[in-house]
Chains A and B, each alone.
Chain A
Amino acid sequence: MVMVHRSRSDDLGQARTGLGLRSVETMTPPSTENPAVHVQQLTKRYGHRTVVDGISLSIARGETLGILGTNGAGKTTTVEMIAGLRRPDSGSVSVLGLDVHRDRGALRQVLGVQLQDAELHEALTVSELLALYRSFYPSPRPAEELLDLVELEDQRATRFGKLSGGQQQRLSVALALVGRPRVVILDELTTGLDPAARRRMWRTIERLKADGVTILLVSHAMEEVQRLCDRIVLLDAGRVLAAGTPAEFVEGAGTTTLDEAFVQLTGHEMEIAE
């Protein structure tokens, strides 16, 4: 059953009632005992604008949770607060029981993050970047294992600035995994990648899932979310609009695809960020 939260719009509320989706007032958190990620009533404002408005969610250990939403829904701000990059105005975040600000040092050892808008040193080669980031951790993954994981064995001597967009993205994921993290945040993992590069990236994530790594995936790509995520949280205007498995979303919305379910629930077409 998809759990639907209170909406910013009566129209949307009526639309969901018509779809037979459950109201947020009856929603209970997923049954996760000792979750990998626990977010409670997270709120972030920029001036008078509330970007994240009381979001709560949990991710079970080993689970892959997808965060969906239109541009401006608060996805990146939410994950950056979970990663400890931004301080919430209120609410709390814990990752593997660690407070993301108080326990920053310990958090960085167990959390791997691939950011949407972060860059790497253009003049360094793939091998040099791996060596640099490996040096940050007490027991890093071997460079060869990482190159194999993201299929960049043949690019080890290539400078970052000379890699294709897909190769840069895969290296970015490899660097997020250097420290053997138990929780990984992947923000806009495959945005801008061609279909072949996207599928290679998905294979990488599936290998991570098989290893029991907890993954928080922010994405615009419905096919990706459907293939990789155990559960989805749909954000709209900084709030959780609905949560459930991909199948529950489709079933609950009475549609044939997740894309259609998304449109039904938000009233918007998904905008693909390039």
Chain B
Amino acid sequence: MTAAADTAPTAAASRARHPGLRSFLVMVVSEFKMVLRDTAGMVTPIGLPMLILLTSAGSTADVDVGGGLTALDVFVIPLMIMMVLSMIGVLNMPSFLAYYRRTGILKRLSVTPVSPVMVLAAQVVVSILQSAIGIAVALGVTAAVFGLNPPTHLALALGVLALSAASMYSLGMIVASISPTPNSAVAIGLIGFLGMGALGGMFGGRDALPEPIAVIGDHLPFGAGVQALQQAWAGAPIEAAPILSLLAALVIGVVVSAVLFRWE
């Protein structure tokens, strides 16, 4: 073992930097290994999208909505994607981080040079990977069994998907930042998930909602994401309002979670 040089910290040490990209990648790989070793944790990301599509595809796969697309393509799939992203991003991911907080794993990390942003970002990346795998498997199975048409504007759809995921997870980071226990994370996340979903069309069309409530729902990440994804899938011009709403949610989520984050 090398002897410790017991001198005063140098100016360079005083400007000590946080761990960089390599450290971030090691953390992401470590988190992903844990996910793979806890197979129960993969049930929601893999099972949820499959369940939604297999129970809805049969009745919508042959309903023509024009342009060679079906109701499955334009309505069911965007809704399924947002349900998966919101459930995992706002409900599932924060409960993992709350577990880390309750067991003292975050406290242990707090005495290392790691920043809260890196811990949160690693969680988000691993969780998004799980969602992506789940959505891809469900789309693959649905395409093989029922037939599926790709989005008319594929690049735009992928862009909307990425922005929606980032917005949804940034709200999940707020839940993760403030929840002291896994149970509280589930309680707060469930309210967020059901509230955004109900206002965004998860339980029926927006016409069933009072107008002011429907307008709020349009601007929350669930409703905004569904709208923008439907437009990209159908080949319609994408409106600015849902995109701006998604961007606003992303910025608010990142800033608020960084401010509110607690190691303990």
B105 touches A119 (CB 8 A): yes
B111 touches A115 (CB 8 A): yes
Question: Is A6's CB within 8 Å of the partner chain B?
Answer: no
Residues of B within 8 A of A55 (CB): none
Q: How many Å from the CB of A49 to the closest CB on chain B?
A: 19
Most buried by A among B6, B38, B105, B263: B6
Question: Is B27's CB within 8 Å of the partner chain A?
Answer: yes
- Which A residues are within 8 Å of any B CB, using their own CB? 34, 36, 61-62, 83-85, 96-98, 103, 105-106, 108-113, 115, 117-121, 123-124, 128, 131-133, 135-138, 141, 145, 149, 172, 175, 179-182, 207, 211-214
Q: How far is the CA of A109 from the CA of B27 in the complex (A)?
A: 18
B108 touches A120 (CB 8 A): yes
Residues of A within 8 A of B1 (CB): 141, 145, 149, 207, 211
What's the dominant secondary structure at chain B's contact region? loop
Q: How far is the CA of A149 from the CA of B200 in the complex (A)?
A: 57
Question: Is B34's CB within 8 Å of the partner chain A?
Answer: yes
B27 touches A106 (CB 8 A): no
- Given A145-B1, A180-B4: A109 in contact with B19 (beta carbons within 8 A): no
Q: How many Å from the CB of B108 to the closest CB on chain A?
A: 4
Residues of A within 8 A of B108 (CB): 115, 118-120, 172, 175
B107 touches A115 (CB 8 A): yes
List the one stretch of B7-15, B167-175, B215-223 in contact with chain A. Answer: B7-15
A-facing residues in B1-41 (Cβ within 8 Å): 1-6, 8-9, 13-19, 22-23, 26-27, 30, 33-34, 37-38
Q: How far is the CA of A111 from the CA of B4 in the complex (A)?
A: 12
Q: How far is the CA of A118 from the CA of B257 in the complex (A)?
A: 23
Indicate the size class of the contact surface on chain B.
35 or more
A85 touches B112 (CB 8 A): no
A97 touches B111 (CB 8 A): no
Residues of A within 8 A of B111 (CB): 83-85, 108, 111-113, 115, 118
What's the dominant secondary structure at chain A's contact region? loop
Question: Is B114's CB within 8 Å of the partner chain A?
Answer: yes
Taking a contact as CB atoms closer than 8 A, the residue among A105, A106, A128 that contacts B30 in the complex is A128
Q: How far is the CA of A214 from the CA of B7 in the complex (A)?
A: 12
- Given A121-B34, A124-B30: A98 in contact with B112 (beta carbons within 8 A): no
B105 touches A120 (CB 8 A): yes
Residues of A within 8 A of B13 (CB): 106, 109-110
A-B pairs with lowest CB-CB distance, top 7: A118-B108, A113-B111, A135-B23, A118-B104, A135-B26, A108-B113, A105-B16
Interface residues as binary, B107-132 with A (CB distance below 8 Å gives 1, 0 otherwise): 11011111000000000000000000
Q: How many Å from the CB of A192 to the closest CB on chain B?
A: 15
Question: Is B103's CB within 8 Å of the partner chain A?
Answer: yes
B14 touches A135 (CB 8 A): no
Q: How many Å from the CB of B25 to the closest CB on chain A?
A: 8
User: What are 21 A-to-B residue pairs whose CB atoms are below 8 Å?
Assistant: A61-B6, A62-B6, A83-B111, A85-B263, A96-B9, A106-B15, A110-B9, A111-B111, A112-B111, A118-B107, A118-B108, A119-B103, A119-B105, A121-B30, A123-B33, A124-B34, A128-B30, A135-B23, A136-B23, A145-B1, A214-B6
Taking a contact as CB atoms closer than 8 A, the residue among B16, B33, B114 that contacts A128 in the complex is B33
A-facing residues in B146-174 (Cβ within 8 Å): none
- Given A105-B17, A118-B105: A123 in contact with B37 (beta carbons within 8 A): yes
A117 touches B107 (CB 8 A): yes
Residues of B within 8 A of A132 (CB): 26-27, 30
In the complex formed, the residue of A with least CB distance to B13 is A106
A115 touches B104 (CB 8 A): yes
- Given A97-B8, A123-B33, A124-B33: A136 in contact with B2 (beta carbons within 8 A): no
Q: How far is the CA of A110 from the CA of B110 in the complex (A)?
A: 14
B30 touches A85 (CB 8 A): no
In the complex formed, the residue of B with least CB distance to A108 is B113
- Given A96-B9, A115-B104: A108 in contact with B16 (beta carbons within 8 A): yes
Residues of A within 8 A of B9 (CB): 96-98, 106, 109-110
Residues of A within 8 A of B17 (CB): 105, 138
Q: How far is the CA of A120 from the CA of B17 in the complex (A)?
A: 24
Q: How many Å from the CB of B35 to the closest CB on chain A?
A: 9
In the complex formed, the residue of B with least CB distance to A145 is B1
In the complex formed, the residue of A with least CB distance to B106 is A118
Residues of B within 8 A of A141 (CB): 1-2
Most buried by B among A85, A117, A123, A131: A123
Q: How far is the CA of A115 from the CA of B34 in the complex (A)?
A: 23
In the complex formed, the residue of B with least CB distance to A97 is B8
Q: How many Å from the CB of B110 to the closest CB on chain A?
A: 7
